[in-house]
Chain A
């Protein structure tokens, strides 16, 4: 094979590498908003946030911010449940112990959890001192291009 052809093949492969890597990264987003509330609780279940997520293989990287919670955040979880149907916590995340801050994590998902992610059946939830059952929540959807 002529050297020029080999160079062309190598160049093509090199050019495709980032494409292949890019193709393997799936990006997602969750909007965090208050847990179910009523006129009686609307002032004690507050805040919002935005979380970006990327999936490479089974590794899910979580990075986002939140603000305006009524009391200090205590813990955050990744949960498994279809849209608007609560389900069990499957992983713990790192969250700033404040009414606003960051939420993050590096999580190795099971194959079933990857399928759940692609079916919009994973969601994030931040608990707080005043709302131990959860104050902010957001389902994860593929990020719009």
Chain B
């Protein structure tokens, strides 16, 4: 039986052809016919969307924990200035994640029509084709907008007024204080410039942690969230989804002020920064905004990059001696502009310097892109906040890989390494110039980027930088010169057949080197990473690095990407499965000695880990997981000494702080994210948790338990 919709579309097409041949005075009829065809396309697209997209993006495009929302302000902001043709190219290159299966070109076109219709596009003058090049936002009819249920306007600016000085006297957080934070504070992401995520507080210890009890809890705004709170002088500064910042009294959990910087899009921002009397945030639409730390009132604002071109931020800045240094994400599109790290004056937001992570033709490293036109050199995002060595005046960042993900998709070979992607870069904070780089995995081929935090550790007179990327390899480099100093594999990997113990040079498996379009390649770890954004801790008293790790694998197939301006993307189909030899344990807490890189202990568990690890002078390591458990380990043995179960998945970055001499441990529950959530979502399906429940929980020892 012929599908009614196909008859409808075919009939509509015939009508359109007829209309095209008709006299000119039939233009209104033409428009009406075109609208009829568009409507039919959208109706057909609704069915195709339900079959192929709704599992991740929701039946009404509202988004789920597996995929972002595709409707409303968020969609218009992202795609409003683009054309249906570009939207179609992006979807066809990247969706669905598991491969196109039986989907036809017509299915994809109809899905675009459905998305446009759901977002209010109804004033099309032609049926949708692969070449439709109208500006999406200009075709969203106000009539349709009025027919849609009215949404209350999102709050903007200061929504709760207050002053931290009503709780504690204020003292500016100086550059000197940031170099050596007060033990009572956690004044930056990962607590110090070196990224140790270590608290010198020791009131809560291996001896008494079993008595840890809930002090207070605060529900946060809903949306995608991977938050890292800051604590300074007894005040908790909390980044919420949708670029909302709150200041809370650390002792009681009372809200002092709240500021909606916008856009109010429920999107994720991992962390914020503080300097002097300002809280400084990067926004999801690639701006930097400074708020008065006492009152939450906005002080200055500057644009990092043009959000309408896809640029975005998901992590906040680090403030190095008065310079706000920010990374950048969303650099997968084929446009003239590239990704960069940039620095701004903390007093007023003025740009100081930019360092581009993509080497263009004629520049140093520009000959490593296989002769590709500069327009098509993409990737190199810096989507995790860097570290800083004040003595060396160097800031250390990890860079993401080239885009699209597979060499054949980007019209390159495994020999086109693409500087300065998938590397550690050391940039001079005064000049913005590259001091050195070390490319851990050149010509990356499986969406396994080496972008995560750089942990700076001094061992005797030697200065090192450590990192773990998605390959799960713990890299150790001299941080003065960048010279390779060693590695260890923290989880099973089979992407490389050899890693040179002298140079760190990796040799890809032959089938990965030669992977062709639509050819499935099976490899470990998966894009959820051996390690992902959840940062590791360095515990100076023991010399141990303790990392939250993940054990899953993937099959990956490259998709074709046309070299057209505005195109690009990620372009691979992926499937996921348990890592062989792990007995189904997705989560692993691994402890490695900074000198030898030997694994001292490891704890494996079914539930994946979704917070960074932190350690304390009390001999403890804290970490949270998908199964709502927040645990404390003995740093020496890996024994679990305490655990509790929270409202939903424990996700974010724990912190420890003290007020009036009393130590607190805080952690967030949160939802949302990309591969680290998607992969456990399809492998450990038996683990359930509420689909809402973003919150911060604060624990302490009851009176008498010390």
A interface residues with partner B (beta carbon < 8 Å)? 31, 33-42, 46, 48, 82-86, 120, 123, 137-139, 141
Contact = CB atoms under 8 A, between A and B. Distances in A.
Nearest to B573: A38
10 contacts: A33-B683, A35-B577, A36-B555, A38-B575, A39-B67, A39-B97, A39-B98, A42-B685, A48-B584, A84-B523
Q: Is the interface of B mostly helix, strand, loop or mixed?
A: mixed
Contacts of B584: 31, 33, 48
Nearest to B51: A40
A42 B581 CA distance: 22
Interface in B519-537: 522-524
A39 B56 contact: yes
B577 A37 contact: yes
A38 B576 contact: yes
B550 to A, nearest CB: 15
Given A33-B577, A40-B98, A84 B56 contact: no
Interface residues of B, number: 33
B494 interface: yes
Contacts, number: 81
Nearest to A34: B577
Contact of A82 (B67, B494, B683, B685): B494
B625 interface: no
Given A83-B580, A120-B580, A38 B96 contact: yes
A16 B96 CA distance: 61
Contacts of B214: none
B553 interface: yes
A39 B554 contact: no
Contacts of A86: 522
Given A33-B577, A37-B577, A84-B523, 5 more contacts: A38-B576, A40-B52, A40-B101, A41-B575, A84-B577
A83 B56 contact: no
A39 B524 contact: no
A18 B97 CA distance: 54
Nearest to A46: B685
Nearest to A138: B580
A139 B678 contact: no
Contact of B578 (A33, A120, A141): A33
Contacts of A38: 96-99, 574-576, 682
A6 B138 CA distance: 102
B498 to A, nearest CB: 15
Nearest to B553: A84
Nearest to B577: A36
B456 interface: no
The 6 nearest A-B residue pairs measured at CB: A38-B98, A36-B575, A139-B580, A83-B580, A42-B682, A36-B577
Contacts of A84: 492, 494, 522-524, 553, 577, 579-580
Contacts of A141: 580-581
B489 to A, nearest CB: 13
